[in-house]
Amino acid sequence: MADDPPSTDELLLRDHLALDRTRLANERTLLAYIRTAFMLAVAGATALKLFVETPAVVVTAWLFIGLGIMVALFGTWRFLVMRQAINRRMDR
């Protein structure tokens, strides 16, 4: 059919380069998620070690650490979902 996307063999150089840029953007996004998660966890750990252990500081610190873990998991999940979508597009 005329509306079907071209197969991998029919992709032009610009199409291959666009897919490579998309893969790299996906990896950069994962790194941004990991960087954010790391900074949240470090902020929480720093609060635990540096400040007086009041209940508010302890709760906030553990919330930061938990949020950092959740951001890392979400970023990894999002990366894997997008990688599958990109690979499916490449396999057409």
pLDDT recorded at residue 40: 98
Other CB atoms closer than 10 Å to residue 66's CB: what's the count?
Answer: 13
Domain that holds residue 68: 16-91
pLDDT recorded at residue 87: 87
pLDDT recorded at residue 2: 53
Backbone angles phi, psi at 3, to 5 degrees: -90, -5
Structural domain count, the chain:
1
Tell me if 82 is assigned to some domain.
yes
Tell me if 4 is assigned to some domain.
no
Contact 64, 43 (CB under 8 A): yes
Tell me if 44 is assigned to some domain.
yes
Print pLDDT tens along the chain (92 aa). Answer: 455 665 555 668 888 888 889 999 999 999 999 999 999 999 999 999 999 999 999 999 999 999 999 999 999 999 999 999 988 887 76
